[in-house]
Amino acid sequence: MKNQTLALPIGLVLAALTACMAVERGQQSDFPVEQPSMLSETTVLPGQTVYVSYSYPRAMFEADNEFEARFDALAFDYSGVRTSDDRVPNVYAAAPWFMLRAVEAPTGVSVALVKANLARVVTQTRVVGDSVNVKYRDEFKLLYRVSVSPDFDPPALTAAQEGVNAATEPATKASPSPTTSVIKTLLEKYAGDLGGLSANRARLTFSDGSRTSTASLFLKYRK
């Protein structure tokens, strides 16, 4: 019996090894960092690009139920539900009309909106007789690309700004999934302090085609 050796091109071997390497979350747009709260900090490093996804309550960008028809068009699929242990899946729809118009960020940091989706997120599924009842919340799910220049030098925070960060941190940890009213209370409470703060956040201005709205993307620097 003859022993046969199969010789593979080095390029093919390297490609196979590369394909087997694990991709870290945040390195690709289809595998972003999923932030648990709109107040969560995104960690950035000089010379790095990170993809990060944030969810915002519908009321964050809505003034007078102008998005009601768009969200109501998100139809649930009840076909796979037989008992209350089953779950109606969340529904998503692309929202290309929701665009990022302006970014105020520290020099060397850029933020781009990769994708905007409307989401109807199911929080409870209940089967009663022949009917299926669901509880849900409406959200904007936004995917960002955050890039930092290689020579980026993180700006220093003043003592007052550090105090603002310390004041907001317990509220964020104590309420990982805050309700809309809690979020608005937090933002209103610290709006004055954060108004001129740019060292650890990017201020984002969005447009839905008829009006503009703003949000903050909080940053955490590492060297």
- Is 11 domain-assigned? no
Task: Describe the strand order of the beta sheet including 33-34 as a list of residue ranges.
Answer: 33-34, 49-57, 131-148, 109-128, 91-94
- Is 167 domain-assigned? yes
The torsion angles phi and psi of 119, rounded to 5 degrees, stand at: -135, 135
Instruction: Please write the tens of the pLDDT for every residue from 173-221.
Output: 333 344 555 555 555 444 334 444 456 899 999 999 999 999 999 999 8
Number of domains within the chain = 1
- Is 129 domain-assigned? no
The pLDDT value recorded for residue 88 is 96
The torsion angles phi and psi of 60, rounded to 5 degrees, stand at: -60, -35
> Token pair of 4, please?
């046969």
User: Exposed, middle or buried: residue 202 (CB in 10 Å: 0-12, 13-18, 19+)?
Assistant: buried
The pLDDT value recorded for residue 147 is 97
What is the span of the domain harbouring residue 35?
Answer: 23-68+93-123+139-221
- Is 101 domain-assigned? yes
- Is 154 domain-assigned? yes
- Is 81 domain-assigned? no
Instruction: Please write the tens of the pLDDT for every residue from 98-127.
Output: 999 999 999 999 999 999 999 999 999 999
Beta-sheet strands, E only, within the chain: 33-34, 41-44, 49-57, 91-94, 99-104, 109-128, 131-148, 201-207, 212-221
Checking if the pLDDT of 162 tops 60, the result is no
Label residue 153 by pLDDT band (50, 70, 90): confident
> Token pair of 85, please?
């242990």
- Is 84 domain-assigned? no
> Token pair of 153, please?
């030098």
- Is 205 domain-assigned? yes
Q: Which amino acid is at 177?
A: S
Nearest CA among 31, 48, 193 for reference residue 109: 48
Task: Say if residues 145 and 29 touch (Cβ distance below 8 Å).
Answer: yes
The pLDDT value recorded for residue 129 is 87
> What mean pLDDT value characterizes the chain?
81
Instruction: Return the CATH number at 62.
Output: 2.60.40.10
Please tell me the distance from the alpha carbon of residue 220 to that of residue 79, in angstroms, as a whole number: 43
DSSP code, position 21:
S
State the pTM of this model. Answer: 0.75
Nearest CA among 165, 149, 150 for reference residue 199: 165
